[in-house]
Structure 1
Amino acid sequence: MGYPERIVCLTEEPTEVLYALGEQDRIVGISGFAVRPPRARREKPKVSAFLSAKIERILDLRPDLVIGFSDIQADIAQALIKAGIEVWISNHRSVEGIRAYILRLGAMVGATKKAHDYLAEIDAGIDRIRAQAANLPKRPRVYFEEWDEPRISGILWVAELIRIAGGDDIFPELAAQSLARQRILANDDEIIRRAPELVLGSWCGKKFRPDQVAARPGWAEMPAVRHGALVEIKSPIILPHRTPSQRPHRLAACCGTRCQRRHCFHGEPGCWCGQCRWLDARSVDCGNCGLGGRRHVDGGGRIRFGQFASRYRAR
C-alpha cells in the first residue's frame, strides 16, 4: 500500500502528530501559525494561515495529501481539490475525537503502532491528572472565555479537559455546540448568576486582560473576581486557531494547576495552604482543612503541583 510522501499541514495539529510519530520527513509545508514542535518552523516552509493559504505555493510543493481542519478551511480545500489535490479535513471537537484523529493520521502514513504507542502516552498522562483531581475536596466552578467581545464560552474538548483537571465548566450545555457562534453569550447576567470561582481566558491570540475582566459591570462580587482567580492560558497552548491540540494531557495539566489551586474558597483573601492550597491571611489557618500555621506553605510560599510551581503571598 502506498502512503503519502509529501504532506502539507494547514494547521499545527498534523504537524505536531507527525513529528511525534517520527514521520516528519513526509511534511513539505506547514501553517505559518505552527509553533509545535519548535523545530518545524526552522525545517519546513510556511504556506498558509488559518483562513487563507498560498495555493500556488502549495501546488509548487507537489503534495500528495493536504490536511486541514473544520469548515473554516472549506474554501482552501475547495481550491486545492479543484486543482486535483487530495485533501483531508478533520473536524474533531472532543477529547475522544482527538484520540481518534491521532490513530487515523497514524494509519494514513503507515505508522499505526507508533500512533497507538503515542496515544497510550497521552492516555496515561490524562489518567494521572484525573487521579490527582479525584483527591480534591471541592471542584471549582470554571468559566472558560474563548473571546471577550462578544463573550464566547469554551468548546466541548475544553470543558472535558477542565473536568479531567478537577473543575466543572459552568456552561456545559454550550460546550456541546461545535460552532463558536452557538456559544455566544447574549449578556453577562448568566455568567454572574452561575458565580464561577475560576475564570480561564484564552482569547484566540489576543492577550487576556484580568483587570478588564474584573472591571466588568456586575462582576465585582463574583467569587473568581473577589479572589483574583482570573487566569490566562496562552492561546498557542490551548486554542491553536480554535483547533484542539494533540497533547490533551498537557492541556489538562495546565488547567489542573489552576483548578487545583482554587478548590477551597472560604470567602476570605489569603495565600496557599501546602495541604489543601489555601491559607487565610488573617487567621493564618486554612479555611478548608483546618490546618494552622505557615508551616504548610513551603519555602517562600512556593507550592508544587508535580512539575508545576507558582509563587503566592497573602493579599
Structure 2
Amino acid sequence: MNQTRITTWVLMASLLLSLMGGSEAAVPSSRGMVTIVDYTGKSMEVPSPVETVISLSSHASEILCALEGGDKIIGRGASSTFPPNLEDVPVVGESSYTPNIELILQLDPDVVVADTMISDDGREKIESAGIPVIVDRFSDPDRTIENIRNLGLILGKEERAEELADFIEHYQTIIEERVSGLEEEDKPIVLCEWGSAWKVATPGTSYGNKIIAAGGTSIAADETPGKYVVVSSEWVAERNPDIIVFQVFGKVPPTPEEMEETRNEILSRPGLGDVKAVKDERVHIITSGIVGGAPSVIGDLYLAKWFHPDLFEDIDPEAVHRELLQKFLGLELEGVYVYP
C-alpha cells in the first residue's frame, strides 16, 4: 500500500469519527419531542419519553405510577404519598400552590406537572429555566382521561395509558347507560358535604357533578353553580334529602371507627331528625382517595350503587377497586374508603 492510499484511509477514518462524535454518540437517541396542550390552553414541547419528572399533584403522581413512570419522579408535592413508594421521593413543596422553586430548578427535571393552584409567577420562573410545566385539573374526574393520555404521551407509554383509560371508561359507560333512562322522580335528592359540616357542593363542582352523573339530584341545584356553599340545618331540613354523602379528606384514609364516628355525628345533628336520609339511615362516608384522579371511577360506582341499588346489584365497587390497584399499581387493596 503506497503512502497516498494510507493517507486517504486515515483522513476518511478521521472524518467518520468526527461526524460520529465518538462511540457513545453513535448510538441513536430514542427520545423525541411531543406537543402537549394543557388545561390552560398552553401548548408546549416536552421530551418523550421523559427521564425525570417533578409532580406537584398527588393525582398526577398516582397516574404516573400507574403508567409505569414512578421511577421517573424525582420530586413531589407533600401530599403525593400514594402509592407508598413515593414517600422515598424528595418533597419540593407542600402542593402546587407552594412549590419550592429553587429546589425544583436545582433538580432540573425534564418536565414539571402541576395543578391549577400554581401561580403564574411560579410557572414563569420554572419555564424561564427551560423546564416545561404542564398545568391541569388532575383532581377533576372530567379531565382524568385526557390527563392519562397526556402523561402517557410524555412517558412514551401510550399503550399503557389506553389500557387505563379503557378500564375507567368501561365502568363510566355502565353508569351512564343505566342511569340515562331515569325519570327525575326516580333520582334521589342528595346532600353532598365536602370536607366539613354544612359545606355543600353545587352542580358545576367536580363533586356536585359526580352526584348528577351517578343518577342523583343535587340538593343545591338552585344555588350558584360551581361553588361550595355553607348551609344550615334548617336549609337541609326544608329540602329533605333522601341521601347524605360526606367526603372526608386526608393523606391516609380514616379508620372504620373514625368514619363511623363521622356518620354518627351526622345522624345525631340537631334539626335533622325528620330528614328522610337520617330516618332511613342512608348516610354514607366517602374518602377523597376515590373521588379524584384515576380512582374517581371507584367513587362513581359507590355513589351509583348507593343511589340505585337495584340498578347496580351486580356491581361490586370494592372488587373493581381491588382490580384497578392490582392491574395498574401492583398493590393489594388496604384500608377502608367508604362507610358503610
TM over 0.5: yes
User: Which residue number corresponds to residue 116 of structure 2?
Assistant: 70
User: Which residue number corresponds to residue 214 of structure 1?
Assistant: 267
User: Which residue number corresponds to residue 303 of structure 2?
Assistant: 255
TM-score, normalized by length of structure 1?
0.69
Give me the whole-angstrom Cα distance separating, in 1, the residues matched to 2:243 and 2:166.
31
Structure 1, 144-153 or 15-24: larger mean CA deviation: 144-153
Structure 1, 166-175 or 192-201: larger mean CA deviation: 166-175
Give me the whole-angstrom Cα distance separating, in 1, the residues matched to 2:209 and 2:180.
15
Q: Secondary structure at the match of 1:233?
A: strand
Structure 1, 162-171 or 1-10: larger mean CA deviation: 162-171
Give me the whole-angstrom Cα distance separating, in 1, the residues matched to 2:93 and 2:124.
15
Give me the whole-angstrom Cα distance separating, in 1, the residues matched to 2:179 and 2:79.
32
CA contact (8 A) 1:257 1:308 kept: no
Residue from 175, 187, 196 that aligns with 1:129 = 175
Instruction: Give CA deviations for 1:215-245 in whole Å, capped at 9, x if unaligned.
Output: 444222111111222221112332xxxxx32
Instruction: Give CA deviations for 1:58-107 in whole Å, capped at 9, x if unaligned.
Output: 33322121111123655654553465543222136754322222222323
User: Which residue number corresponds to residue 171 of structure 1?
Assistant: 220
Give me the whole-angstrom Cα distance separating, in 2, the residues matched to 1:307 and 1:14.
22
Cα drift, residue 164 of structure 1: 3.5
Partner amino acid, structure 2, of 1:47: V
Pair 276,6 (structure 1): closer, same or farther in 2 beyond 3 Å: closer
Cα drift, residue 133 of structure 1: 4.9
Pair 84,250 (structure 1): closer, same or farther in 2 beyond 3 Å: same
User: Which residue number corresponds to residue 28 of structure 1?
Assistant: 74
User: Which residue number corresponds to residue 184 of structure 1?
Assistant: 229
Percent identity reads 21
Give me the whole-angstrom Cα distance separating, in 2, the residues matched to 1:307 and 1:183.
27
Superposition pairs of residues 220-259 of structure 1, within 5 angstroms: 220-238=273-291, 244-259=292-307
CA contact (8 A) 2:245 2:284 kept: yes
Give me the whole-angstrom Cα distance separating, in 2, the residues matched to 1:87 and 1:29.
14
Partner amino acid, structure 2, of 1:161: K
CA contact (8 A) 2:144 2:294 kept: yes
User: Which residue number corresponds to residue 9 of structure 2?
Assistant: none
Q: What stretches of structure 2 of length at least 5 have no aligned partner?
A: 1-31, 34-46, 320-335
Residue from 63, 78, 83 that aligns with 1:37 = 83
Partner amino acid, structure 1, of 2:245: L
Residue from 77, 86, 93 that aligns with 2:132 = 86
For the pair 1:157 / 2:157, whether they are aligned, the reply is no
CA contact (8 A) 2:60 2:138 kept: no
Pair 94,68 (structure 1): closer, same or farther in 2 beyond 3 Å: closer
Pair 125,304 (structure 1): closer, same or farther in 2 beyond 3 Å: closer
CA contact (8 A) 2:59 2:139 kept: no
User: Which residue number corresponds to residue 13 of structure 2?
Assistant: none
Q: Which structure has the bigger radius of gyration?
A: 2
Pair 75,198 (structure 1): closer, same or farther in 2 beyond 3 Å: farther
Pair 113,175 (structure 1): closer, same or farther in 2 beyond 3 Å: farther
Give me the whole-angstrom Cα distance separating, in 2, the residues matched to 1:67 and 1:200.
31
Pair 121,305 (structure 1): closer, same or farther in 2 beyond 3 Å: closer
Give me the whole-angstrom Cα distance separating, in 1, the residues matched to 2:120 and 2:283.
35
Instruction: Give CA deviations for 1:124-165 in whole Å, capped at 9, x if unaligned.
Output: 021233445569894322111113266242563323333343
Partner amino acid, structure 2, of 1:53: P
Give me the whole-angstrom Cα distance separating, in 2, the residues matched to 1:66 and 1:145.
32
Q: How many residues align?
A: 264
User: Which residue number corresponds to residue 193 of structure 1?
Assistant: 238
CA contact (8 A) 1:94 1:160 kept: no
Partner amino acid, structure 2, of 1:70: T
Structure 1, 102-111 or 6-15: larger mean CA deviation: 102-111
Pair 52,92 (structure 1): closer, same or farther in 2 beyond 3 Å: closer
For the pair 1:97 / 2:143, whether they are aligned, the reply is yes
